Structure 1
């Protein structure tokens, strides 16, 4: 199974990275296959137009997700259990894009998946119904894109958003002070803005970027050692990497990699940020 990735309308590109569509028929009993999703720095709007998808954090019981779920800042691993007919349509936002859509302080969404209908209203429920009737990935992309074009006013990215995007791309903004200066803000102003627009402090944002890069690198280059990955991703040493894995997933890098290799849904391998 490979996801379909679609570029979006030019008016949406300051806010939206891409739209991804996954359609897969899973073998075995319903909800017996679990897919782990460690934290990423990317916010999303996720639609589940076929069999319901269930999720849990830690040792909590699985709970059914809404037909359209808002996923904001994430610092803990989530596990998804899926029915046999799995369809997944996600809007992947650039830093600040979800804030632009919702106008809700992102720190209020930290590690809390929300029912999009509670915030976005009846329109988003109508989109979910249209997706259920759609049969092709491109058709589903068009339905979601049309909704976003109605809801998101064209605007240029702010200097803060540009700085956050450069941080996520692994550019030359190697320190928080450099990112703040690029955004034309003091360090304290940059920190306040980050909590509002991204959902966490700039330092935590940078850590999640580095952590996400590390586990995805291992998935795509399984023969690369964790020591090599730790240095490639900017960790001081392997123990520094292990501490992040324990904090963000409550387990070790090796176990996370094993879980993800055996996942029935390997979206994380192809994640684009």
Structure 2
């Protein structure tokens, strides 16, 4: 079994942030995995098994396609694996703006939804899922995915933009910059910047920064459990604990402490796999 983040080859690093490789067997049962909102646009291949996704805000569930494009998430989801003796998934997590460049589709059209990638991009993606399922090693699984991705970047649909770098900046340093300053870095008016940012990232810069800050605060608390939530809130620029708790309510649908408890029961923790 494995649950690991893996860096892409040097050729793909301008487009791919990392891969998430997950292989869990049926002995762990069907556990719910909480998936609080985060900055993430991805392509997932399910070599064996699959997942149901439940949107707590919208109140609906659906079966995710065998190869799926994940648009920018804006609310908390719960994932549950289904059928088969084991579960095998390879997720390609893109750099900010990279999915727009590869697909040429305005990302706000993909926001808050998972799309069948074989229909949206190319039927060849089902073949890639089969190759991942039939691979003899985890390394070979990555190789098969990279062969497909390298072929895509040879025919990239859109050029890079300063907005992509701004997306990366906000991913690392959320809520530190004014809209006017960000727009000036892209040589655009604030209105043009918001429109083009949403086209490439799926959501506007303000919401993008809020999601990034929320998830960083959550990860920071997980890594430093001795800190109280007020200290975490102040460290990330929240005005007080209530301000932080409001974002947790919107992006995780629960209080900060409940999310910590739920996250401690995710499948990879139960079987003691490390990222």
1:50-103: CA deviation from partner (whole Å, max 9, x where unpaired): 122221111745432111111111111111112451222111111101111221
1:5, distance to aligned residue in structure 2 (A): 3.0
Structure 2 residue 51 is matched with structure 1 residue 53: yes
1:204 aligned to 187, 202, 207, which one? 207
Q: Answer with 250-259 or 79-88: which moved more.
A: 79-88
The unaligned stretches of length 5 or more in structure 1 are none
Aligned to 2:94: 93
- TM-score, scaled relative to structure 2: 0.89
| Cα pair 1:45 1:92 within 8 Å, conserved | yes
Give the conservation status (yes or no) of the 8 Å contact 1:26–1:264.
no
Aligned counterpart, 1:148: 149
- Aligned to 1:222, the other structure's residue is in SS state coil
Structure 2 match to 1:43: 41
String of CA shifts for 1:201-233, please: whole Å, max 9, x gaps: 110000011011111222222222111111122
* Aligned with residue 32 of structure 2, among 21, 31, 34: 34
List runs of 5+ in structure 2 lacking aligned partners: none
1:120 is matched with: 121
Alignment equivalent of 1:238, drawn from 236, 241, 244:
241
Q: Which residue of 2 aligns with 1:76?
A: 75
Matched, 1:221 2:219: no
Structure 1 equivalent of residue 23 of structure 2: 23
Deviation (angstroms), 1:184: 1.9
| 1:175 shift after superposition | 2.2
Corresponding residue of 1:166 = 169
SS in 1 for 2:69: strand
Alpha carbons of structure 1 residues 263 and 95: separation in structure 2 relative to 1, 3 Å: same
Tell me how many residue pairs correspond in the alignment. Answer: 267
Q: What residue is the counterpart of 2:139 in the other structure? A: 138
Does the alignment pair 1:189 with 2:189? no
Q: Please state how far the C-alpha of 1:26 moved relative to its aligned partner.
A: 4.4
SS at match of 2:239: coil
Contact 1:34 1:81 in 2 (8 A): yes
Residues 9 and 117 from structure 1, CA distance in 2 versus in 1: closer, same or farther, beyond 3 angstroms?
same
Distance of aligned partners of 1:235 and 1:2 in 2 relative to their CA distance in 1, 3 Å threshold: farther
Question: CA separation in 1, counterparts of 2:80 and 2:97?
Answer: 29
CA contact under 8 A between 1:35 and 1:265: conserved in structure 2? Answer: no
Go from structure 1 to structure 2 and tell me whether the alpha carbon gap of 1:87 and 1:235 turns closer, same or farther (over 3 Å shift). same
RMSD: 2.3
Does structure 2 retain, via aligned residues, the 8 Å contact 1:164–1:179? no
Partner Cα separation in structure 2 for residue 258 and residue 168 of structure 1: 25
Structure 2 contact 97–201 (Cα < 8 Å) conserved: yes
For 1:80 and 1:63, the matched residues in 2 are separated by 10
**Structure 1 residue 157: deviation in Å?**
3.6
**Counterparts of 2:274 and 2:201 in 1: how far apart (Å)?**
23
Instruction: Indicate how the Cα distance of structure 1 residues 235 and 26 shifts in structure 2: closer, same or farther if over 3 A, else same.
Output: farther
Q: Is the contact made by 2:2 and 2:21 (CA closer than 8 Å) also made in structure 1?
A: no
